[in-house]
Structure 1
Amino acid sequence: MSVKVGQTVEGVVTGITNFGAFVELPGGETGLVHISEVADTYVKDIRKFVKEDEQVRVKILSVDGDKIGLSLRRVKENKEKLVSFEDKMAKFLKESDERQRDLRKNTEAKRGNRDSIK
């Protein structure tokens, strides 16, 4: 199978180094997920994110001869972009209601719930 830049494919982690993880792609080709392409956060130990023989989805960033550059984090970005506006709005409203409920509960606790004194 020939790989093309921009494709998202399944692969198996075959090796882990302190600078990234090697992933065997369908067709037997091997690419590298550089440590900067593992997650959106700072990655000190790549082994906290991937394990050897683990099946992963990767996005192909570059193909330069035998070198194939891969990304794990950009696959996740694409999934997040597929969330509809309505879903995002529903999530926001739910979180907002929960924050308001907690705020009201804390405010009533500090006031001593004066309604019960009447």
Structure 2
Amino acid sequence: MSIEVGAKVPGKVSGITNFGAFIDLGAGKTGLVHISEVSNGFVKDINEVLKVGDEVTVLVTNIGADGKIGLSIRKAEDRPQEEKREFPKKDFHKAGPKKPFNRNQGNQNAANNSKQDFDSLMSSFLKDSDDRLSSLRRNTEGKRGGRGGRRS
């Protein structure tokens, strides 16, 4: 039996690695199922899904020029076609003109008190910043032997 891309073939798990499983396809042919192609869900440990000796049906996804065969178990599974979800269609052209976005629409006080709030926030920030700078200077000058530091 010749192996072609797109063919579903039976095989037997001949080896497991942390990145996938080797499948013996018969006639001296072996292919690899990457861990991402084992199941539709996330597979952290392939040993929880497959064991050496398990018989599986695989889909041949590619055949490299060097003879390496890429396989997929999840694509070989016959699943019924999922129903397409239909969303209601909206006619955006008939909706009318859109109102401009107003950032302060729900907060009337923000427009009235923004100047006062900004000034109070800025003054508290500057006071806090000055306090931090002066304590930082005081601590580092003593350690570096700068002005006012002790000398022996």
Into which bin does the TM-score normalised by the smaller protein fall? 0.5 to 0.7
Paired with 1:15 and 1:54, the residues of 2 have a C-alpha distance of 10
**Partner secondary structure for residue 47 of structure 1:** helix
**Which of 1 and 2 has greater Rg?**
2
Number of the residue aligned with 2:59: 59
Paired with 2:81 and 2:27, the residues of 1 have a C-alpha distance of 28
Deviation at 1:67, TM superposition (A): 0.4
Paired with 1:7 and 1:50, the residues of 2 have a C-alpha distance of 21
Is 1:68 aligned to residue 69 of structure 2?
yes
AA aligned to 1:81 is: P
Paired with 1:10 and 1:35, the residues of 2 have a C-alpha distance of 18
Structure 2: any 5+ residue segments left out of the alignment? Answer: 84-152
Number of the residue aligned with 1:7: 7
What does residue range 22-61 of structure 1 map to in structure 2 within 5 Å?
Answer: 22-61=22-61
Paired with 2:2 and 2:76, the residues of 1 have a C-alpha distance of 19
Residues 13-34 of structure 1: per-residue CA shift (max 9 Å, x gap): 0000000000000312000000
**Higher strand fraction (1 or 2):** 1
Structure 1: any 5+ residue segments left out of the alignment? Answer: 86-118
* Identical counterparts, % of pairs: 48
Residues 51-98 of structure 1: per-residue CA shift (max 9 Å, x gap): 10111100000001320000000012xx11369x8xxxxxxxxxxxxx
Give me the CA root mean square deviation: 1.6
**Partner secondary structure for residue 25 of structure 1:** strand
Number of the residue aligned with 2:80: 81
Aligned length: 82
Query: RCO greater where, 1 or 2, for CA within 8 Å and sep 6 or more?
Result: 1
